[in-house]
């Protein structure tokens, strides 16, 4: 069995729970263990409100759907997952202001320009996830003053405007970016104490991966699918790096340099083609990593 990476454990500790998980879906399916699953509209009884720690509202069709207003009564709610369409509802303003994690997933109305109601201030929110959208979605800094994690799809951001907005968050520590194209997702955060970075599908031919050296406090790095060559020597400039997870990178060079990172505990290299064919795996086995998948 493949071990959970250090990054996945860290993320899970923020976004999920081991109990009190309720899922409401129009298309019931097996969402996993330790979850209470109900069909859309079969809302929970009042005597179960206090048990809701994580609530997921799964929709892919927004026709004839109203906002589940009982969300405002879930006093112990920590994590909320729902379509981004719902932030347009007036009732969304009544959500529990103490939630710590908010997942806004794929929109049902693909041509909408979504705007956050700036009267809704979530003082305790630590984690915000925004999906791929047709139009750029602005994340108002003043509405999430304690935000530490941003999981943001950059497909609609052609010039990287969002990145400079995110750099205004005082407590930001964890970055997750999808579809960055050729955007520099590193330099705007060079003065921040960024601990983790996850890059997915940054497939531009000029993606500036060399600027990763700007994130001197980085501990956890996960990259899945970039097209530019990646020289592992770059990572030697990151002294606190504990975990490296590299997937779907066509050209990796100087892989042995990873052995010279003193803090490194966990290493995963998968689906990187011929780049790792000539790597001496015995060297890595003998390095006694806590987690090794190569």
Q: What is the pLDDT of residue 285?
A: 93
Q: What is the pLDDT of residue 263?
A: 96
How is 74-89 classified by DSSP, letter by letter? -TT--EEEEEGGGGGS
CATH architecture assigned to 156-294: Alpha-Beta Horseshoe (3.80)
* Domain map (residue ranges) of the chain: 1-147, 156-294
Instruction: Tell me the sheet residues that pair with 245.
Output: 222, 268
Q: What is the pLDDT of residue 31?
A: 60
pTM: 0.94
Show Cβ contacts of residue 274 under 8 Å, excluding neighbours closer than 6 positions. none
Number of other residues whose CB lies within 10 A of the CB of residue 97:
13
> What SS3 class is residue 35?
strand
Task: Looking at the chain, list the stretches that DSSP marks H as alpha helix, in order from N- to C-terminal side.
Answer: 6-15, 161-166, 281-286
Residues 267, 294 contacting (CB under 8 angstroms): yes
Do the strands 174-178 and 252-253 form a parallel or antiparallel pair, or are they unpaired? unpaired
How do residues 165-211 score in pLDDT, each as one tens digit? 999 999 999 999 999 999 999 999 999 999 999 999 999 999 999 99
pLDDT along the chain (294 residues), means of 10: 80 85 81 79 93 92 86 95 91 93 84 90 97 93 98 96 97 98 98 98 97 98 97 97 97 96 96 88 93 93
Residues 219, 195 contacting (CB under 8 angstroms): yes
What does the alpha-carbon distance between residue 157 and residue 154 come to, in Å, rounded to a whole number?
5
């Amino acid at each position: 069995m493949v071990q959970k990476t250090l990054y996945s454990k860290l993320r899970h500790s923020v976004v999920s729970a081991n109990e009190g998980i309720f899922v409401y879906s129009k298309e019931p399916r097996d969402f996993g263990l330790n979850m209470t699953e109900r069909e859309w509209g079969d809302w929970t009884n009042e005597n179960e409100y206090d048990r809701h720690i994580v609530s997921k509202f799964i929709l892919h069709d927004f026709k004839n759907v109203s906002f589940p207003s009982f969300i405002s009564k879930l006093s112990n709610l920590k994590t909320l997952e729902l379509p981004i369409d719902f932030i347009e509802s007036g009732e969304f303003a009544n959500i529990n202001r103490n939630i710590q994690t908010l997942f806004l997933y794929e929109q049902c109305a693909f041509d909408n320009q979504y705007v956050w109601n700036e009267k809704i201030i979530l003082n305790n929110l630590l984690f915000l996830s925004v999906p791929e959208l047709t139009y750029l979605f602005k994340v108002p800094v003043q509405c999430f003053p304690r935000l530490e994690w941003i999981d943001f799809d950059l497909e609609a951001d052609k010039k990287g405007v969002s990145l400079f907005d995110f750099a205004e968050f005082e407590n930001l520590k964890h970055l997750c970016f999808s579809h960055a194209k050729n955007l520099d997702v590193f330099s705007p955060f060079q003065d921040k104490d960024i601990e983790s970075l996850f890059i997915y599908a940054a497939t531009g031919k000029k993606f500036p991966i060399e600027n990763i050296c700007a994130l001197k406090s980085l501990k956890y790095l996960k990259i899945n699918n970039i097209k530019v060559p990646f020289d592992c020597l770059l990572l030697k400039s990151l002294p606190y790096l504990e975990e490296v997870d590299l997937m779907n990178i066509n050209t990796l060079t100087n892989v042995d340099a990873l052995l010279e990172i003193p803090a490194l505990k966990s290493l995963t290299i998968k689906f990187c083609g011929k780049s790792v064919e000539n790597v001496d795996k015995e060297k890595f086995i003998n390095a006694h990593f806590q987690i090794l998948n190569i």
